[in-house]
């Protein structure tokens, strides 16, 4: 389970343990988690790591960060990681019990 209220780390079925060390990786993962199971545009994803104007290399950097997260979450087969390319952005495909926020939302419904 991803834990929104603790240092960002991945559930045991993915391998990103210990918590992610790089700030930009954490920012990207949190942005995807907050919009879990929904496509997030690359423009929106580039707003988080670069609070001011993104550098010219931002789009390529974003692709590198996604690739790194995929490898961290599923080192044996990064293609099986929950982060998917979707349209002009990315999404993180989660089951309801994969994220404590989703569990909470489900409980209050």
pLDDT digit string, tens, across residues 74-101: 888 888 889 999 999 999 998 877 777 7
CA atoms within 13 A on the CB side of 5: 5
- Say what the pLDDT of residue 5 is: 47
Name which of 96, 87, 54 is nearest 28 in CA terms.
54
Low-confidence ranges of the chain (pLDDT < 70): 1-19, 102, 104-106
Give the pLDDT of residue 100: 72
pTM here? 0.77
Q: Token pair of 81, please?
A: 């990681």
Name residue, tokens 């309801």: 96
Whether 100 contacts 5, CB under 8 Å: yes
């Amino acid at each position: 389970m991803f834990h929104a209220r603790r240092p960002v780390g991945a559930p045991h079925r993915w391998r990103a343990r210990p918590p992610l060390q790089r700030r930009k990786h954490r920012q990207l993962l949190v942005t995807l988690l907050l919009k879990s199971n929904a496509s997030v545009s690359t423009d929106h994803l580039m707003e988080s790591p670069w609070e001011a104007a993104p550098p010219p290399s931002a789009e390529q950097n974003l692709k590198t960060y996604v690739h790194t997260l995929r490898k961290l979450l599923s080192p044996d087969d990064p293609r099986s990681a929950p982060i998917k390319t979707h349209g002009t952005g990315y999404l993180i495909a989660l089951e309801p019990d994969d994220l404590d926020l989703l569990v909470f939302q489900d409980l209050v419904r």
